């Protein structure tokens, strides 16, 4: 019998590398961004999931994002603000999914059809090999990301090369619209990039036009990747005329990993991981955490008691 969606919770983590030890839990649908920094970039990441049923406990089930006119039908969003620390050629920065282990033996029937629909109707620039030992599906950021906004170029804060890159406070992590800010709008015009999102995505399907672009050091870029096809509430892929559930093919805590990276050098800018966690595993984690917290409280109580007794000298009356 296939598992039921109610038997799982979703956990979303993000980090500046593939290494899980560098990741932090993302406050899905929350008001704050997850800040990530590495040698390659400085970034803020926001994740929103409609009908969210997951961790951390008490997370909002939805976001005002899904009430905005352009997103009423979307199921999830990964949006980001990014400052590259060095200039990167336009054609090598990609966004997509990858795995560090084979998945070919666990792909559900109909997956090939689903992939063809995605390439035909959603992202013609998508490229990859799902049958490889380390499968991947990447698309150039310029043609794959739903919304791209080019911002101003800023300087490091601090003296010399050790100064930090900081995302300015005026950059709000709200609903992102296609276009530009400050001299970023002029950059788009200078490169003849179309104003509309759909037109820009189609325009950058041309490799030569991607090669004519640069992701500039110190420039602020904002992007949003979203769609109505991946339903994290039912753990199903819902494409035009085709639906595919993944629940029957799960194995323990399965993850879907998104990555923004330099495909040529392998440099990772950031990673976002969606993990389906069985509720029984969450209950064990909660019990272990509660036990650890109780033990810490007892130790702190003993420490206070010991400290309070220091310097105490009994009197004759105390010895009676």
Dihedral pair phi/psi, residue 28, rounded to 5°: -55, 135
Positions of the chain with pLDDT under 50 = 159-160
Q: Closest by alpha carbon to 234, among 224, 246, 221, 252?
A: 246
CB–CB of 232/52 below 8 Å? yes
Q: Which two tokens stand for residue 278?
A: 């069985």
Reported as a single tens digit per residue, the pLDDT across 222-237 is 999 999 999 987 788 8
SS3 content of the chain, % helix, strand, coil (to 5): 30, 30, 40
How much is the pLDDT for 291?
Answer: 82
Read off the pTM.
0.89
Q: Which two tokens stand for residue 56?
A: 């951390």
* H/E stretch holding 15: strand 8-15
Q: Closest by alpha carbon to 151, among 175, 163, 140, 167?
A: 167
CB–CB of 46/34 below 8 Å? yes
First to last CA, the chain: 73
How much is the pLDDT for 159?
Answer: 47
Measured from the Cβ of residue 319, the count of other Cβ atoms closer than 10 Å reads 6
CB–CB of 55/66 below 8 Å? no
Q: Closest by alpha carbon to 47, among 114, 56, 39, 186?
A: 56
**In this structure, is the dihedral angle defined by the CA atoms of residues 71, 54, 106 and 19, taken in order, positive or negative?**
positive
């Amino acid at each position: 019998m296939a598992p039921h969606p109610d038997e799982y919770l979703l956990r979303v983590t993000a980090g500046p590398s593939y290494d899980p030890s560098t990741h932090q839990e993302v406050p899905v649908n929350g008001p704050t961004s997850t800040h990530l920094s590495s040698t390659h970039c400085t970034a803020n990441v926001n994740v929103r999931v409609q009908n969210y049923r997951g961790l951390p406990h008490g997370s909002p089930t939805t976001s005002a994002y899904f009430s905005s006119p352009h997103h009423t039908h979307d199921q999830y969003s990964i949006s980001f603000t990014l400052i590259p620390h060095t200039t990167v050629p336009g054609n090598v920065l990609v966004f997509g999914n990858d795995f560090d282990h084979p998945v070919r033996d666990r792909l559900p029937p109909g997956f090939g059809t689903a992939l063809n629909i995605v390439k035909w109707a959603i992202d013609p620039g998508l490229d990859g090999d799902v049958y490889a030992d380390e499968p991947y599906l990447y698309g150039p950021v310029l043609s794959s990301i739903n919304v791209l906004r080019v911002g101003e170029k800023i300087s490091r804060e601090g003296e010399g090369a050790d100064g930090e890159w900081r995302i300015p406070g005026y950059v709000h992590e709200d609903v992102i619209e296609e276009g530009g800010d400050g001299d970023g709008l002029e950059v788009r015009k200078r490169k003849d990039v179309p104003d509309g999102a759909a037109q820009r995505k189609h325009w950058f399907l041309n490799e030569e036009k991607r090669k004519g672009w640069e992701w500039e050091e110190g420039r602020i870029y904002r992007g949003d990747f979203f769609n109505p096809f991946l339903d994290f509430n039912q753990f199903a892929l819902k494409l035009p005329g085709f639906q595919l559930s993944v629940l029957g093919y799960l194995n323990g805590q399965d993850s879907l990993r998104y990555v923004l990276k330099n495909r040529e050098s392998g440099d990772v800018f950031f990673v976002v991981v969606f993990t389906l966690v069985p509720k029984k595993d969450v209950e064990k984690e909660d019990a272990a955490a509660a036990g650890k917290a109780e033990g810490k409280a007892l130790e702190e109580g003993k420490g206070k008691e010991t400290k309070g007794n220091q310097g105490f000298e009994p009197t004759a009356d105390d010895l009676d």
